[in-house]
Amino acid sequence: MTRKAHLARWTSWLLTAVVFSIACWFLSQWQFARQQEVVTANQIINKNFDLAPVPISQLLQLNDEWDSNLEFRPVELTGKYLADSSLLVRNRPYDGQPGFLQLVAFEMTSSETIWIERGWLPTGLNQDAPDAIPEVDQLQRQVIIRLRPSEVKDRRDAPVGQLPNIDIPRASASLPATQIYQQAYGRLVSEQPEMGRGVDIGKPQLSEGNHLSYAFQWIIFGLMAFGAVFWNISQDRRRLRGQMPRKLASLNRDKDAEVEDQILEK
């Protein structure tokens, strides 16, 4: 192979390394951005979780878009549960056990309705549903909830009376009411008077995940691409000078050393 052909090959290697490194750079920046999103979300939850509750009308109106700064913000409601509007949310493991969440509609004295998640229920021993589902009455109550956003629409099917996820518009399709919070629901904190309920899931376990380590890994991969190119170019240059590649030369020196040792021993 001529020197010109070698230069063309080296150039193609460098261009490939440049393209690969640019891709690695953008992937690392994406991971850094994901890391920052997680940190920001955790900060919001830590800030909001133990705040004193305020009337929901001070924070969220029916037609408002969901604001992520309201995540887990406590609010207080007055009204009654709609006992006939109770659903189970499937595939909700907790503490390593399969289970469901109970979701019940709550009508406020202002005539607005919001869905409330009333706790976790373990899957039954002999059927794909809880063995016991807490009943709700229609007495007037004062309730404290923490706001959560409606989950993304899930196209999976579910048995009657169940949902594949907490898709509030889908849950609300069965309600006769029209003034319904569609963008959010509430996780029950307390209610007066009290009723039986599922297990309180409590505060989520907050973690920043592996995004930071993944970001640094992509940067290292990009640098390694250039290292591989320069190593192969150096090997080609040795061949052009009539020298063995470094690894082969090293092996040959080791073999020569073994022959010399054998002669000395004799």
CATH class assigned to 53-192: mainly beta
User: What is the chain's pLDDT, residue by residue, as a tens digit (266 residues)?
Assistant: 566 776 787 788 889 889 999 999 999 999 999 888 888 889 999 999 999 999 999 999 998 999 999 999 999 999 999 989 999 999 999 988 999 999 999 999 999 999 999 999 999 888 888 999 999 999 999 999 999 999 998 888 888 899 999 999 999 998 987 899 999 999 999 999 999 999 998 888 777 778 888 888 999 998 888 888 888 788 777 777 666 766 644 445 555 555 555 554 54
**What CA–CA distances, in Å, run from 154 to 4, 69, 103, 163?**
59, 24, 16, 9
- For the entire predicted model, the pTM comes to 0.74
Maximal CA-CA distance, the chain: 105
**pLDDT of res. 35:** 87
**pLDDT of res. 246:** 67
**pLDDT of res. 177:** 75
**pLDDT of res. 4:** 73
Alpha helices, DSSP H only, in 49-180? 168-172
**pLDDT of res. 249:** 46
**CA 47 remoteness from chain centre:** 20
